[in-house]
Structure 1
Amino acid sequence: MTSMDIVDEFEENCCIMRYTTAGQLWNIISPREFVDFSCTTDYEDGILSCGVSLDYGEVKPGYVRGFNHPCGWFCFPLKDNPRHSLLIGFIQTDLRGMIPQSAVDTAMASSLTNFYSDLRKTLKA
């Protein structure tokens, strides 16, 4: 993910977010833009965040509009070590455009690895 902006807010925990990704595999896969409705709430001792893409606004020049089917993230502290949390994500992303499936599989695996690595570094800081 290269950028993330809140486009509109509805309630304390619900908003429309626009985020972008960089091109992948020497820009064989063009940069993508996603616009999602997202809602986050407390769940037991952790949080639950759910979202789905919207057909909202104009696509930024040079980007392809991707689409996230309903997805969700659960984050909650580990009972035996409350200083650590477990993050579980369910995503169903359609990158759209004309991309060979093997390129999608390679790029998604790399992007998810980088996402979790960056998230871990951010949380430690």
Structure 2
Amino acid sequence: MEGPLDISSKSTKLQNTLIQYHCTKEDEWYVAKKTSDVTVWRKPSQEFGGSLYKAQGIVDDGTTRIVDYIRPGPYRLEWDSIMTSMDIIKDFEQGCCVMRYTTAGQLWNIVSPREFVDFSYTTQYEDGLLSCGVSLEHGNVQPNCVRGFNHPCGWFCVPLKDNPNYSLLTGYIQTDLRGKLPQKTVDFAMASSLANFYTDLRKALMA
């Protein structure tokens, strides 16, 4: 791993970065995909040469249960159609862990399977929760995978003021898939996978 982890510093910096994204003015975003219940925007990332994506939709459930399905744990692998394996490498206190996970090939395997090693942190945010993460350089890549890298990513989940049984779920994702992929292919794959994320999550919560 990239040296000893300063958990307090890492989690504070990550949280502050996600809040900064969350405060970005609306006119800086461009719509990448829109369905009846999810909108995905993007803008140039300040972390690497790709895009920062923002996804938003209303989910019919409470914030705690929704985040339990999103963050690293027993639920995520059961319902997320992209994720094919997940292993908690190190579990810390204060809602932090390091996990290794793999994702399936996408777009008829034009985007081949990827592997990630992420530091994950979940904390209170306003009346809801923030679950966020960032990749670490760690160990060797598994065979038949490309090691991807998640720049600061996260999900804000807050109850609707007029109906706390529903939650507004807003995600910020900026993934460097690496490998030799055309940017248009990456943009299409990312926008589609984020929209599908909401569909899969809603189905899992209703099961």
TM-score by length of 2: 0.57
1:50: which partner in 2?
A: 132
Instruction: Give the whole-Å Cα distance in 2 for the aligned partners of 1:87 and 1:31.
Output: 26
Aligned: 1:83 with 2:170: no
Instruction: Give the whole-Å Cα distance in 1 for the aligned partners of 2:192 and 2:173.
Output: 15
SS in 2 for 1:120: helix
1:60: which partner in 2?
A: 142
Aligned: 1:70 with 2:173: no
2:190: which partner in 1?
A: 108
TM-score by length of 1: 0.91
1:4: which partner in 2?
A: 86
Q: CA deviation at 1:109?
A: 1.8
Q: CA deviation at 1:108?
A: 1.2
Runs of 4+ residues over 4 Å off in structure 1: none
Read off the aligned partner of 1:82 and give its amino acid letter: P
Instruction: Give the whole-Å Cα distance in 2 for the aligned partners of 1:87 and 1:123.
Output: 14
Instruction: Give the whole-Å Cα distance in 1 for the aligned partners of 2:206 and 2:94.
Output: 26
Q: CA deviation at 1:18?
A: 1.7
1:40: which partner in 2?
A: 122
Q: CA deviation at 1:74?
A: 0.6
2:110: which partner in 1?
A: 28
Aligned: 1:119 with 2:190: no
Q: For each residue in 1:37-88, what CA deviation from the matched residue of structure 2 results, as whole angstroms up to 9, or x when unmatched?
A: 0110122321112211001122111111111111221101111011111111
Instruction: Give the whole-Å Cα distance in 1 for the aligned partners of 2:104 and 2:148.
Output: 12
Same amino acid, percent of matched pairs? 74
Q: CA deviation at 1:124?
A: 2.1
| Unmatched runs of 5 consecutive residues or more in structure 2 | 1-81
Q: CA deviation at 1:19?
A: 1.9
Instruction: Give the structure with the larger strand fraction.
Output: 1
Q: CA deviation at 1:5?
A: 2.6
Q: For each residue in 1:17-43, what CA deviation from the matched residue of structure 2 results, as whole angstroms up to 9, or x when unmatched?
A: 222211112212111111110110122
1:92-107 aligned at under 5 Å gives the runs 92-107=174-189
Instruction: Give the structure with the larger helix fraction.
Output: 2
RMSD between aligned alpha carbons? 1.3
SS in 2 for 1:110: helix
Read off the aligned partner of 1:60 and give its amino acid letter: Q
SS in 2 for 1:35: strand
